[in-house]
Amino acid sequence: LGLDPDPARLWPRAVELAGGSGIAPGSPAERAALAISSHCALAIDAAGEHCVAVKLQLACFERLGAPGWAVLAEVSRRARERGLLVIADGKRGDIDVSARAYAQAFFGEAETPFGPVPGLGVDALTVNPLLGAETLEPLAEAARARGGGLFVLVRTSNPGAADLQERSLASGETVSERLAAIVSALQGPGAIGDIGAVVGATAPERLERLRELMPSAPFLLPGVGAQGGRVEELRAAFAPGPAGGLVAVSRAIVEAHRRDGGDPERAAAREAARLRERAWALAA
Amino acid sequence: LGLDPDPARLWPRAVELAGGSGIAPGSPAERAALAISSHCALAIDAAGEHCVAVKLQLACFERLGAPGWAVLAEVSRRARERGLLVIADGKRGDIDVSARAYAQAFFGEAETPFGPVPGLGVDALTVNPLLGAETLEPLAEAARARGGGLFVLVRTSNPGAADLQERSLASGETVSERLAAIVSALQGPGAIGDIGAVVGATAPERLERLRELMPSAPFLLPGVGAQGGRVEELRAAFAPGPAGGLVAVSRAIVEAHRRDGGDPERAAAREAARLRERAWALAA
């Protein structure tokens, strides 16, 4: 269940719970944060039972500043209480000392003279590998220490992905295939590893080759619905071998009522259930 | 002036201003945030007059959660009051709709049913181009609308940069050179453009070629000091043509007292002044 809350497109009940659009206490940022918190909680309660994880798009929380970051923590807790895994979709990536700071922010805690400050405590973070494998290691280590993992960008779902990721290197492989090799080199042991890969559902023709290069990586598959990807085309992500994929769907679930009518909760639950059936059919 | 505040290595006066390490009101996160705010304010007051901008490493603020994000806004305001430009070093990069959310977070405002919520309002953001030029456009547009700009990662300062950025493409250019072409295609008009490039000071042998490919891009040059780069080796970033570079130095200034002794303020001011002289000598 992808949660990319846009304060201009929230479920009406979430806006009402924040006092409606009339005069009420709190700054616009505080009220918008409250509305986003309610919106995400309602969406989790409606559709969560059909999902295994929430994917939180950090940009959507950051745009509300500190109150947005507080909501991020609340939504993570809510999802965990409902038995869902939490994936922070932040696409972070930085040099060693900064990568360790991100590791504290998402998986660990910061040591301070005033006592430890716990981070967000998510199960997985999406990371950007442009700076090289060395910069992913502190994050992989911190994720592993709490039984979590990473999803490394390998082939993204957007049209511009071709600008760089689809280019051929002199060695013959594409940039994406090189990134897949970085994922495999970082991989933990076991038939299903803890280093996953983001592979867009909008480029299903790439799945077979990428699954071959990363046999034990869980795939995070965004791009179904609003971006044009279809669950039925993702079979190669789920075979051969035990590592499968997480189909990440955001707008097609949370905005299902705009297409199907009816109330947002029921439309979201129905769409999530429908997509789950289709995903399970692939893995069968 | 790079500010990468590590709560375990703050200036002693900043820890005292947050009540010292004994018992005092506030959670560890709130007190650490207060100490980081004081630390950054002291560093800006001590060394800012020798600098043109502050570069804020977002990872270091995010690890304190919502209080850390509030401090980020405070430090930005403080720097601006002192006449410094503010560079948010977040290395963000995401697909279109999420890129627009980051644009709101850093340059614009979010529209909400409760009124507009202003973003951080920085002058520049570091961005990661792995997802392609299309994903940088909403950020470039939002930065331009407020007279700001972007710094696109082209050749980073870390050892692992070679994993991907130094690889040759089948077309003959390296990945970094391809990224430089993306920067040039996004560039605004004028002899000094608003789309800059992050080029590590640790790879000075790459500067001449990258300056040739991006004649009007301001370079952001991290890696001097703790990472081993030397200002004297950066001449090619400043010639030929009017576009120059910003030498980004973090630990070598803020931790100068650990090497030189004396109080942190004076050591930081002295090191910043010394580095400024060297940078000006290059541009002369």
Q: What is the pLDDT of residue A22?
A: 76
CB B194 within 8 A of CB B188: yes
For residues A24 and B244, the model is more confident at: B244
Residues of B in contact with A178 (CB under 8 A): 164, 167
Would you give per-residue pLDDT tens digits along chain A (284 residues)? 999 999 999 999 999 998 887 777 889 999 999 999 999 999 999 999 999 999 999 999 999 999 999 999 999 999 999 999 999 999 999 999 999 999 999 999 999 999 999 999 999 999 999 999 999 999 999 999 999 999 999 999 999 999 999 999 999 999 999 999 999 999 988 899 999 999 999 999 999 999 999 999 999 999 998 889 999 999 999 988 889 999 999 999 999 999 989 999 999 999 999 999 999 998 77
Residues of B in contact with A156 (CB under 8 A): 95, 130-131
- Give the distance from residue A49's alpha carbon to the nearest chain B alpha carbon, in angstroms: 26
Residues of B in contact with A3 (CB under 8 A): none
pLDDT tops 80 at residue B22: no
Per cent of chain B over pLDDT 90 is: 90
Average pLDDT over residues B216-243: 92
Active site annotation includes B55:
no
Which amino acid is located at B158 in the chain? N
What is d(CA B94, CA A176) in angstroms, rounded to the nearest whole number? 16
Q: What is the pLDDT of residue B174?
A: 97
Mean pLDDT over the full length of chain B: 95
Residues of B in contact with A37 (CB under 8 A): none
Find tokens 């895994």 and name the residue. A85
pLDDT tops 80 at residue B284: no
ipTM beyond 0.90?
yes
User: Cβ of B97 under 8 Å from any chain A Cβ?
Assistant: yes
What is d(CA A241, CA B158) in angstroms, rounded to the nearest whole number? 36
Q: What is the pLDDT of residue A175?
A: 97
Q: If pLDDT is split at 50, 70 and 90, which confidence band does B224 have?
A: very high
Q: If pLDDT is split at 50, 70 and 90, which confidence band does B116 have?
A: very high
User: Cβ of B34 under 8 Å from any chain A Cβ?
Assistant: no
**Best of A16, A62, A122 to disrupt the B interface by mutation (most B CBs within 10 Å)?**
A62
Which amino acid is located at B209 in the chain? R
Q: Of the candidates B101, B130, B169, which has its C-beta nearest A130's C-beta?
A: B130
Q: Of the candidates A21, A66, A112, which has its C-beta nearest B114's C-beta?
A: A21
Interchain pair A161, B132: CB under 8 A: yes
What is d(CA A69, CA A26) in angstroms, rounded to the nearest whole number? 17
Q: What is the pLDDT of residue B1?
A: 98
Q: What is the pLDDT of residue A239?
A: 81
Q: Which residue of A has its CA nearest to B113?
A: A21
Adjacent-strand bridge partners of A3: A56
Q: What is the pLDDT of residue B93?
A: 98
Residue A40's closest CA among A65, A61, A22? A61
Q: Which residue of A has its CA nearest to B24?
A: A114
User: Cβ of B260 under 8 Å from any chain A Cβ?
Assistant: no
Q: What is the pLDDT of residue B211?
A: 96
Find tokens 């009522």 and name the residue. A257
Task: Output the CA angle B89-A195-A66, nearest 5 degrees.
Answer: 35
Residues of B in contact with A170 (CB under 8 A): 167-170, 172
Q: What is the pLDDT of residue A231?
A: 94
Q: Considering only residues 36 to 75 of chain A, which have any Cβ-Cβ distance to chain B shorter than 8 Å?
A: 57, 59-60, 62-70, 73
User: Cβ of A170 under 8 Å from any chain B Cβ?
Assistant: yes
Interchain pair A69, B65: CB under 8 A: yes
Q: Which residue of B has its CA nearest to A162?
A: B132
For residue range B125-157, list pLDDT tens digits in order. 999 999 999 999 999 999 999 999 999 999 999
Interchain pair B131, A104: CB under 8 A: no
Q: Name the pTM for this structure.
A: 0.97
Q: What is the pLDDT of residue A98?
A: 97
For residue range B204-219, list pLDDT tens digits in order. 999 999 999 999 999 9
Q: What is the pLDDT of residue A282?
A: 85
Handedness of CA A75, A80, A82, A86 (dihedral sign): positive
Interchain pair B15, A113: CB under 8 A: yes
Determine the angle formed by the axes of helices A28-47 and A65-81, rounding to 10 degrees: 20
Find tokens 């924040």 and name the residue. A18
Q: If pLDDT is split at 50, 70 and 90, which confidence band does B114 have?
A: very high
Interchain pair B98, A60: CB under 8 A: yes
Q: What is the pLDDT of residue B25?
A: 82
Residues of A in contact with B110 (CB under 8 A): 7-8, 32, 63-64
What is d(CA A216, CA B66) in angstroms, rounded to the nearest whole number? 36
Q: What is the pLDDT of residue B128?
A: 98
pLDDT tops 80 at residue B24: no
Residue A217's closest CA among A135, A129, A284, A119? A129
Looking at the annotation, which residues of A are catalytic? 91
For residue range B78-106, list pLDDT tens digits in order. 999 999 999 999 999 999 999 999 999 99
Average pLDDT over residues B64-78: 97
